[in-house]
Each structure stands twice: as C-alpha cells, then as structure tokens.
Structure 1
C-alpha cells in the first residue's frame, strides 16, 4: 500500500484489500526493527565491496571481503540483501569459438626458425590473440620486429577479419617506413592467406612467410 499510495487512494486500497486504515497508520508509525536497521547498515558495506570490485564480486566473495574486515554475517544473508538491492555480479564470458577451415598455403616458410636477425626491419612476425574485457572478447593483432622484439604495429577489434591484420601492418609500415623489403612471418590463418593480405603485402614491399600448420615451434617468436 505504501508503494502504490501515489497511484491509488488509501481508502480505495483499504477497501479492496479489506484492511483497516488505522492498522496502516499504526504500521507507518511503528519504528524499524533492530534486524531491519542492521540489514540497512550491512547493505552499505555490501555495496561498497561490490562497487570496489567493479561489479565482479558475488555473495561468496563479498562475504570473504567483509569477514576480512571483521564483519560477522552469513553468506545467505548477504545473498538475500544483494538480490533485494539487485546487485548482480558480472559473469565470465564464454571463449569465442572458431571455425576450422582449409589451411592457407599461399607462402612458403622463408624464416626457417632463424629467429636471430642482424638488422632491424628485416623480419617482422605477427599473430592474432583474444583478450577478455568487460565489454566482451576483443581480438588483438600484434606485429613484432624480430631484431629488437619491439612491437611496431597493433590493431584491436571485436571481429577477427583480414582488416584487423591489415590495420596492424599499416601501423607498422607507417611507423617504421622500411627502405627495403621486409619478411612478414605468420601462421596459416585464413586472414594471412587471403587475397587482400597478399596484394597488400606486394604493394608495400612485404614478403609473406608462413610456418607449417600446427607447428608452434616455427611461430613461437610471434606468440
């Protein structure tokens, strides 16, 4: 009745619910119980722990957090108060699934595990990985100069496409501006075996090189 008093008249609600107005006024004047006051004070601590965890902690972790601060309460009580306050923890994300297609064989293995390079901008290695964030999974492409092991280009996107790889290579070419052709070594991912990737490498003096399928030792420098 107190929740809907702005929408309906008290007299009408009492008549429909067969309640006495005197009982409603007596309930309003009744002070809060010790349990209710304790729950309100505990909820303040729960919200503080929940917000400091960036909405990650559920009731078990909040319970451990409060116990470390010498706050004695049960986990079920914390779970009840969190449900009442609609405090829901951020659950883990499922790892993205990949479709396995035919391996790309557009370039031979020119690197041949020669991971020691005498000069910069002779050999670059690149690969794609994925990172979990609060917004979901993001794909990251990194280009590394094999001479210094420095990152010369990178790109991040929510989809794993050829453009993701080309953006990282474009950054590397723009930053380094190599004077001579550069070998770019990768695995046999479909992005590195696409026609767009081959044409872009040809137009920018990059010589593709690919490790054998399923052989991480030939591509460990880019992992």
Structure 2
C-alpha cells in the first residue's frame, strides 16, 4: 500500500458494523455477568433481545470468543439420601413421565448438601414439573425428616396446590418416614418414589442441583452455614426462579412461565 493510500484508508469513516462493536461488546459482557456466567450464546441472545438489543447469534459467538467469556464448568456430584431402611416405599407413579399440563400437578423433591467451614449444610427442595420453579425449600445442619417437612410446608403455604398432586422423591428415609407420609395425606397428595438406585427417575430435581452447584456452590467458599444459606436463598428466589431463562420454557424464567399460564387461563 502506498503512503497516500494508507492515509486515505485511515481517514475513511468507520462502517456501521465497526461503530456498533464497542457498544455490543459492553452489552454482551454486561449480559454475561448479569446472568452469572451461566448462559450460552443462544440464551444470551434471548436475554439481550428481551433488553431491546438485537444481535445475531454468530456475532454473539464471535464476541464471546473475543472477550474470553465462557460459561462456568459443570461438575458431577453424588447422591445424598440413604435408601437402606425398612420403611414402606411408595410406588413409582411418575415413572419418568415428567410431562404435565399445568402448575401444581407434580413436584419432585430431594436433599443435597453444601460444604462450609462449619460443616455440611443440608438443603431440601421441591421443584414444580410444569415451570421448573423451586416451590419450597429448607436448610439445616442436619438431614432429618423435619427438614423435608419444612420444605413441604413452605411449598404448600406459598402455592396452595389442589388435592391429587403427585409428589415424587427418592426412597430416602426422610421421605419414607411415617410423619412425612402422614403430612402428604393431610395435604391430599400422592406419594411417588424412584426405583432403587435409579437417579433418572428424579431427573428434574437432580438437574436443579446441578445448576445450583455449577453456577454457585462450586465457585464459592462458604465460611459459615449462615453465609451459604443466604447466598443459596438469593440464588433460588432472585436468580433461578425469576431471572434464569430456559429454552424449555420458551426462554422465560420459571416465574414468568407460570404467570403466562395464569394469564392465559384468565383470558380464556
């Protein structure tokens, strides 16, 4: 290139594409941080679109690579509850049929654990199969039937499900306990339990544990159980239920997906 050609090139105005680049870089980075480094390119595109930013999928992929933005890495984790007991076990009513047509038709429940410097923190949760919303949860330093009963009480209090709801869990002694089964009957719920050693029977709640641990727990060091409890509560209430969009839910959050269902019923 000649000297005159070089200076002519330098004076040439930036294309619209190049002018947009710094702004889009900032918006993609902000969306990546806002979604806690958990969204891939497609979900990030939907997130930006919901904020009024129109950008192609290929460009998002290119900008993520350019900016060094990557999702948090997934890790495997172990099952928690103990199914070695002599308590009665409910039949597997759900039988891996996770397709429901409305909220509060079926919930999946389970217990997981989180490490802190003070010791283990146990978390019991219940997930609605329609929206994926975590409808009830409780935390304690002990893994007891009272823990799962507290999670159930909270779910029933906040969602008021109609009689006949199927509540699926594994065969853990906490869920098989007479007091817990009695509580289910009082609420008009049907107990359903996984086959022995088959984690796929309770896949929806296992999927949530994976999200919680890969998006929060594995990237934090909790000094106390109280610190862990506060951050987990914020993750569930603010991020997972209300902000974290899912492809299965038409790129809506669980709360927004439930709200859309309710509004459609009112309109009908």
Could you tell me the TM-score, scaled by structure 1's length? 0.54
**Change in CA separation of 1:100 and 1:204 when aligned onto 2, cut-off 3 Å:** closer
Report what 1:178 is aligned to: 161
Measure how far apart 1:162 and its partner are: 0.2
Measure how far apart 1:134 and its partner are: 2.8
Residue 194 of structure 2, aligned match among 184, 192, 211 = 211
Residue 152 of structure 1, aligned match among 135, 140, 159 = 135
Q: Deviations over 1:3-22 (max 9, x none)?
A: xxxxxxxxxxxxxxxxxxxx
Moved runs in structure 1, 4+ residues, more than 2 A?
97-106
Q: Deviations over 1:146-192 (max 9, x none)?
A: 10000000000001000000000000000001123211000000011
Is the radius of gyration larger for structure 1 or structure 2? 1
Contact 2:168/2:191 (CA < 8 Å) preserved in 1? yes
Report what 2:5 is aligned to: none
1:222 pairs with 2:201: no
Residue 85 of structure 2, aligned match among 102, 111, 119 = 102
Q: RCO greater where, 1 or 2, for CA within 8 Å and sep 6 or more?
A: 2
Of Structure 1 and Structure 2, the greater helix share is in 2
Contact 2:121/2:141 (CA < 8 Å) preserved in 1? yes
1:161 pairs with 2:144: yes
Measure how far apart 1:100 and its partner are: 6.4
Report what 1:134 is aligned to: 117
Structure 1 CA distance, aligned partners of 2:93 and 2:181? 15
Contact 2:82/2:173 (CA < 8 Å) preserved in 1? no
Secondary structure at the counterpart of residue 219 of structure 1: helix
Measure how far apart 1:222 and its partner are: 1.7
How many positions carry a matched residue from both structures? 128
Structure 2 CA distance, aligned partners of 1:211 and 1:99? 13
1:188 pairs with 2:171: yes
Secondary structure at the counterpart of residue 154 of structure 1: strand
| Structure 1 unmatched ranges of 5 or more | 1-94
| Structure 2 unmatched ranges of 5 or more | 1-77, 207-268
1:46-125 matched pairs, under 5 angstroms: 101-102=84-85, 104-125=87-108
Measure how far apart 1:99 and its partner are: 6.7
Measure how far apart 1:220 and its partner are: 1.2
Q: Deviations over 1:22-72 (max 9, x none)?
A: xxxxxxxxxxxxxxxxxxxxxxxxxxxxxxxxxxxxxxxxxxxxxxxxxxx
Of Structure 1 and Structure 2, the greater strand share is in 1
**Change in CA separation of 1:100 and 1:198 when aligned onto 2, cut-off 3 Å:** closer
Secondary structure at the counterpart of residue 222 of structure 1: helix
Could you tell me the TM-score, scaled by structure 2's length? 0.45
Measure how far apart 1:206 and its partner are: 1.4
